């Protein structure tokens, strides 16, 4: 049973998809942020609850943005791991030629 099964292309593809996923999440968060801003400045304006809603949404948005940044970090990890596996494989092959 193999302990390692690495397909560099699949790892790089996943890394790219994670990075694109981050961008898609941030785009959606920006769209929703604009919608909430419009709401609390027009269709939902109260002395207290609309302000609290906006504050709660801001906290949510900050957390979701950090989550999206994590997707990019995972993508970078996969790229680095694929590169490291490829380099190790090439070095092992060279050692056998010596």
From first to last of its 98 residues, what are the pLDDT tens digits of the chain? 678 899 999 999 999 999 999 999 999 999 999 999 999 999 999 999 999 999 999 999 999 999 999 999 999 999 999 999 999 999 999 999 97
Residue burial 44-80, b: 16+ Cβ < 10 Å; e: rest: eeeeeeeeeebeebeeeeeeebeebeebbeebeebbe
The pLDDT score that the predictor gives to residue 13 is: 98
Host H or E run for residue 37:
helix 8-38
| Host domain of residue 21 | 14-60
In a domain, 73, yes or no: no
What letter does residue 43 receive in the DSSP assignment? I
pLDDT value at residue 1: 66
The answer to whether residue 35 is domain-embedded is: yes
How many domains does the chain divide into?
1
Contact 76/15 with Cβ under 8 angstroms? yes
Inside any domain, residue 38: yes
Does residue 74 lie within any of the structural domains? no
């Amino acid at each position: 049973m193999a302990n390692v099964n690495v397909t560099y292309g699949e790892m790089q593809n996943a890394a790219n998809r994670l990075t694109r996923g981050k961008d898609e999440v941030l785009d959606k968060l920006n769209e929703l942020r604009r919608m909430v801003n419009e709401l609390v400045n027009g269709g939902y304006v109260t002395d207290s609850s609309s302000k609290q809603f906006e504050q709660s949404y801001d906290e949510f948005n900050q957390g979701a943005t950090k989550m999206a940044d994590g997707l990019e970090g995972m993508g970078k990890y996969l790229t680095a791991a694929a590169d490291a596996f490829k380099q190790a494989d090439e070095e092992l092959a060279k050692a056998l030629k010596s």
